[in-house]
Amino acid sequence: MGLGGISLWQLLIVLLIVVLIFGTKKLSGMGSDLGGAVKGFRKAMNDADTDEDQAQIDKPDAEFSADSSGDSAGAENKQNS
């Protein structure tokens, strides 16, 4: 028994029919196109992760300085009241 009740012979028959319909050149071209698409997708995801990491590194410094200046001014206003 194979994958989910599909035997090895059934898989080979389906593969043979696909090869007869599309031909080996067409299947080879589809495989290389699919591989190129996956490679491009992975590269885009890695670039996006790198951009996000860089943005997170730059962003907290600006937020911290803005928050700390606002907090000290608020504390001074409370003491003067």
- The domain ranges of the chain are 24-71
Measure the CA dihedral 40/42/43/44, to 10°.
90
* Res. 76: pLDDT tops 80: no
pLDDT in tens, 9-58: 999 999 999 999 989 888 889 999 999 999 999 999 988 888 777 777 77
pLDDT of 73 = 52
Whether pTM > 0.85 for this model: the answer is: no
The number of angstroms, rounded, from the C-alpha of 2 to the middle of its chain's C-alpha atoms is 32
Per-residue pLDDT averaged across 58-74, rounded? 55
Give the pair of three-digit tokens for residue 7.
């035997």
CA 61 to chain centre: 27
Cα 47 to the center of its chain, rounded Å: 9
